[in-house]
Amino acid sequence: MKKLKIYIDTSVISHLQHDDAPERTKETLSFWKKLKTGKYEIVISDLTLREIRHCPQPKQTDLIYYLGEIECDILPDSGEVKALAEAYMENGILTRKSENDCMHIAFASTSECEVIVSWNFKHMVRLKTIQGVRIANAKNGYFKPIDILQPTALIGGDEDERTGDQS
């Protein structure tokens, strides 16, 4: 059975230790436990690692440790990703102030992920963004539909229906 391919953005990893959001931290740790089972094909990017490196110590070291607990592919920067992120900004999906968010979405789209997992409700986990991304992706030759969901959407098992996996 094919695994669901998911892109994890930095907000999820950061919430593994987020003192001012204990409920989200609890939910993220629950989600992380599920990731450790190998149920998903997990993808992150060079951008994710750069953003983690901007975290203060000891959080930075702790987040890198958490990443070592899961098996994931790390996508390198590319002209293809940058061009697609630029298309998102040119089409008004997100602004230049959200360029990194556009890059995360472009990494996921160009690598044919089915889901982006994020806690970023301001820019990413929004219907307007999801619809805009799908339109821009299709215009740019990326026809695989992509969802942008919060981690709790994958904890309960509803995502299994998407792949036909009933385990």
Give how far Cα 10 sits from Cα of 57, 95, 119, Å.
16, 19, 9
Mean pLDDT over all residues of the chain? Answer: 92
The domain covering 5-159 belongs, at the CATH homologous superfamily level, to: 5'-nuclease (3.40.50.1010)
Tokens of 160: 């299994």
> How many angstroms separate the first and last alpha carbons of the chain?
11
Torsion from C-alpha of 145, 12, 107, 89, nearest 10 degrees: 80
Q: Is the dihedral of CA 70, 129, 76, 57 positive or negative?
A: negative
Contact 88, 133 (CB under 8 A): yes
pLDDT tens, position by position, for the chain (167 residues)?
889 999 999 999 999 998 888 999 999 999 999 999 999 999 999 999 999 999 999 999 999 999 999 999 999 999 999 999 999 999 999 999 999 999 999 999 999 999 999 999 999 999 999 999 999 999 999 999 999 999 999 987 544 444 334 33
Q: Amino acid identity of 59?
A: K
Residue 18 pLDDT: 85
Residue 44 CB neighbour total at 10 angstroms: 24
- On the 0-12 / 13-18 / 19+ scale of CB atoms within 10 A, 114 is buried
- For residue 1, give Cα distances in angstroms to 30, 55, 85, 106: 23, 37, 31, 26
Determine the pLDDT at residue 162: 42
Distance (Å, whole) CA 28 – CA 75: 22
pTM: 0.91
| Secondary structure class of 41 (helix, strand, coil) | strand
pLDDT digits (tens, 9 = 90+) for 70-91: 999 999 999 999 999 999 999 9
The pLDDT value recorded for residue 160 is 44
